[in-house]
Amino acid sequence: MLGQLFGRKSEKKTSHAEFERIAMPHADALYGAALRMTRDVTSAEDLVQETLLRAYRFWHKFEPGTNVKAWLFRIQTNIYINRYRKQQTEQQVIDDIQAEDLLNRYAAEESTFIPPDTRESFFKSVLSDDVMKALDALPFDFRMAVLLADLHEFSYKEIAEVLDCPVGTVMSRLHRARKLLQAELLEYAAARGIVANATAAGDAPENVASLDAFRRRKVAGA
């Protein structure tokens, strides 16, 4: 019985050391994402602290060898959605409507194509603050899809796990989010007179469905 008791104690210590070694290095990445989620330093710090405490408490549920960063991000996203986002439901509805309006406009005009001769001047004019502002203006689900893919380099499958949605939804959100981000940056540049108002490039209106549907269509057509 004594052995059992001391055994448990040393198991706990190992688990703490493991947590320090495996989970803690992701604290800054969690904070970066938390900042983009909450848009507030204090709330972001609280969110990270709660995420890591919860992760520590449930460390025994983490499967060694799996992606710890994705596991931590999933915990953080769950906490954020359950707590902070419920306070902002009304704002979220407005965000979503605005995003849909924007998307319809840009999908119709295909205005995110920049002629190669103006590309250099446009990209030189983009500031990190612009990117941050444009990213923060995206609805939460879109913002997270871009962050997880382009900043943290998660695969679609991992993003689907973090955001608890199908891979097809990740594809769709990511595509729309990038398009909105590009359109927003072009608007900033147009406002400064760096590029002319967005130009149509003649793309077909896009409607991202699922990769499986595309494959089925290809097989049927072949």
Partner 1 sequence: MTLTQLECGDFRQFADCYLDAEFDARDRAAFDAHLAACADCRAHLDNQIAFRQALRPHFQVFQREGLSFEARARLRRALADAERPSLMGLWARRLALPVPVVAVAVLLLIPPTVGFAPREAVLRHQEASPVEVPSAQADEIDAWFKDKVRFEVSAPRFRDPRVQLLGGRLTHVHTRAGQDETRQAAYLVYAIGRHKLSVLVFDGTGVDLPDASDADEGPASGGQRPSRRDLVLQNQDAFNVAMFRSGGSIYTVTSDLPEPKLVALVDSAF
Shorter beta-carbon distance to partner 1: residue 50 or 96: 50
Closest to partner 1 by CB, 45 vs 96, is 45
Nearer to partner 1, 49 or 67 (CB): 49
Residue 182 Cβ vs partner 1, minimum distance, rounded to whole Å: 6
- Residue 165 Cβ vs partner 1, minimum distance, rounded to whole Å: 16
In the complex, the smallest distance separating the C-beta of residue 73 from partner 1, rounded to whole angstroms, is 12
Q: Is residue 178 within 8 Å of 149, Cβ to Cβ?
A: no
Please check whether residue 146 is in contact with residue 138, taking contact to mean a CB–CB distance below 8 angstroms: yes
Q: C-beta of 66: minimal distance to partner 1 in Å?
A: 14
What span, in angstroms and rounded, lies between the C-alpha atoms of 37 and 84?
9
CB-nearer residue toward partner 1: 32 or 96:
32
| Cβ 56 vs Cβ 72: under 8 Å | no
Mapped to the 3 state alphabet, what secondary structure does 131-176 carry?
HHHHHHCCCHHHHHHHHHHHHCCCCHHHHHHHHCCCHHHHHHHHHH
Smallest distance, partner 1 to C-beta of residue 174, A: 6
Specify the residue, 7 or 94, whose C-beta has the smaller distance to partner 1.
7
The conformation of residue 59, written as its DSSP 8-state character, comes to: G
Q: Are 206 and 103 within 8 A, CB to CB?
A: no
